[in-house]
Amino acid sequence: MVRKKAFAALLMLAWGFSGAGFPAAAGEGGEAELSLSGAIAIALRDHPAIAAARAGAEAAEEGLTRERAGFFPRLDAEGSFRRTTHPPEVFASKLNQERFAAADFDIDRLNRPSAISDFGGSLRASWTLYDGGRTRHAWKEAGLGRRAADFALERTRQAVIAEVTAAYAGWLLAREQVAVVEAALAAAHAHARLAENRHAAGISVKSDLLRARVRAADLEQQRLDAASRIETARAALAAAMGLRREMPALPADSLPELAAVWLRRRAEPLEDWLVRARTHRADLEEMALLEEMARERVERSRAGHLPRLDLVGDVAVHSENFEGSGEHYAFGALVQLPLFSGFAVSASVGEAHARLRQVQAERRRIEDRVLLEVRRAHNAAESAARRIGVAAAAVSEAEEALRITAERYAAGLVTMVDLLSAEAALQDARRLLFQARHDLVLGRVELERASGVLGAAEIEGERGAKPSGAEVR
């Protein structure tokens, strides 16, 4: 009886873990570790999508400055040099240089003048006083675009945080699954040794030994496959962080710890999350601004039918050899009234109206998609939270079932098939528990992203103060 209990205890130790999950691997030999908060911080600093969104916001700011310039006068300087014998140009150049004399009216000199050089310089100014509102609407459109770029940046930030969290949780799940398989493999080897001893003693058939060996071989293949998935998950995390360099090999957090963070949070009804999404989702704010931009574009196109009034003026200096010069100025007003443009203005207005309808339809589509995303994420998170409780109970029952079956097999009361079935049931129960924890983390993060309230500060705040591990350098 003592030997039976000792075998059962040895078998349970071979599993090497409890229902609370595997502890996170420590950094042996000074190996660097990476926490979820550290991974998010690196991604927000290095991810190319963040860099692209920031560049887009900077471009929108420059575009706003460009459109604002339309309210100010324009000043241009111009310089020229020309040497010519063309009679009209020679005549005009002498007038501009204030060197025209009575002798220059000679017919022969008018028809066949000598070559003349002309150095000219001018300062031109123009100021649009009225353009039907084109400049004003373009400026307002650019301002809306600047605000939309900020929301696009926030949307990208939240998407990167969600992507990194999902990749980090996938990395942890891959490590936990390896541990589950390794524990099952250790138990399978213990089964094989027991079956070999019983067969050698003549108290069991050889098929028991063969079944145990086949089970061990199958688990060895599972272990190799699971180990390869760890490296794939690490590569996926590096890509999600925007890293092109080596990242730490060990995580500083564990999957049970991250799942516990979300389990501690008070469950909120779906309607509350839908309200958050309507008021905080960056996509919706961005689309509202894009619709306003489209309306401004319509008004700007309509302004093409209206007249334009500009003040213009210039000051010019002309000289042949810089020993003397002629100076003159001119100023006035220029009015342009569009009478016919080949229907270009009407087509521009029609195009702007079509773009407005396109944006409005796209806004409705995104609103429906956002609400669906919130519902889907809420259901997934609630389902995962309930599954954790069910899976944890199943693990406890499977552990007890394996203990009882191991004792009965040692007493010769059950077959190897029964023992292997109990061991496989425990492996599946633990796998499903870790999967449920993984799905809870993903579900809650996706729920906050879908609602537009996801942020790195919120994740770190929920986790509480904890060392973040070595920073990737």
Residues with Cβ within 8 Å of 364's Cβ and at least 6 positions away in sequence, in order, are none
Q: What is the DSSP letter of 136?
A: H
Q: What phi, psi does 311 have (nearest 5°)?
A: -90, 135
DSSP string, 262-290: HHTSPP--HHHHHHHHHHH-HHHHHHHHH
* Under 8 Å between Cβ of 301 and 351: yes
Give me the pLDDT at residue 103, please: 79
Give me the pLDDT at residue 11, please: 38
How crowded is residue 42: how many other Cβ atoms within 10 Å of its Cβ? 19
* Under 8 Å between Cβ of 233 and 167: yes
How crowded is residue 450: how many other Cβ atoms within 10 Å of its Cβ? 27
pLDDT digits (tens, 9 = 90+) for 452-472: 999 855 555 455 434 333 333
For the domain made up of 2-68+135-300+344-463, give the CATH fold: Outer membrane efflux proteins (OEP) (1.20.1600)
Give which of 96, 388, 178, 107 is closest to 263, Cα–Cα.
388
Rounded Cα distance, 186 and 179, in Å: 11
For the domain made up of 74-132+307-336, give the CATH fold: Outer membrane efflux proteins (OEP) (2.20.200)
DSSP string, 73-89: -EEEEEEEEEEE--HHH
Strand-pair category, 116-130 with 250-251: unpaired
Q: What phi, psi does 84 have (nearest 5°)?
A: -150, 155
Q: What is the DSSP letter of 114?
A: P
Give which of 408, 425, 309, 356 is closest to 5, Cα–Cα.
408
Give me the pLDDT at residue 16, please: 40
Residues with Cβ within 8 Å of 200's Cβ and at least 6 positions away in sequence, in order, are none
Q: What phi, psi does 275 have (nearest 5°)?
A: -65, -45
3-state secondary structure of 251: strand
User: Taking each helix axis from N to C terminus, what angle separates 270-280 and 282-302, rounded to the nearest 10 degrees?
Assistant: 40
Q: Which residues pair with 83 in a beta bridge?
A: 117
Give me the pLDDT at residue 13, please: 37
29: buried, middle or exposed (CB in 10 Å: 19+, 13-18, 0-12)? exposed
- CATH 2.20.200.10 segments of the chain: 74-132+307-336
**Which parts of the chain sit beneath pLDDT 50?**
1-29, 461, 464-473
Give me the pLDDT at residue 300, please: 93
* Under 8 Å between Cβ of 423 and 219: no
Give me the pLDDT at residue 389, please: 92
Rounded Cα distance, 197 and 7, in Å: 13
Give which of 179, 206, 174, 182 is closest to 192, Cα–Cα.
206
Q: Is the dihedral of CA 188, 192, 197, 199 positive or negative?
A: positive
DSSP string, 166-183: HHHHHHHHHHHHHHHHHH
Residue 119 corresponds to which amino acid? F
Q: Which residues pair with 60 in a beta bridge?
A: none
Q: Which residues pair with 319 in a beta bridge?
A: 119
pLDDT digits (tens, 9 = 90+) for 318-361: 888 888 788 888 999 999 999 998 999 999 999 999 999 999 99
Residue 240 corresponds to which amino acid? A
- CATH 1.20.1600.10 segments of the chain: 2-68+135-300+344-463
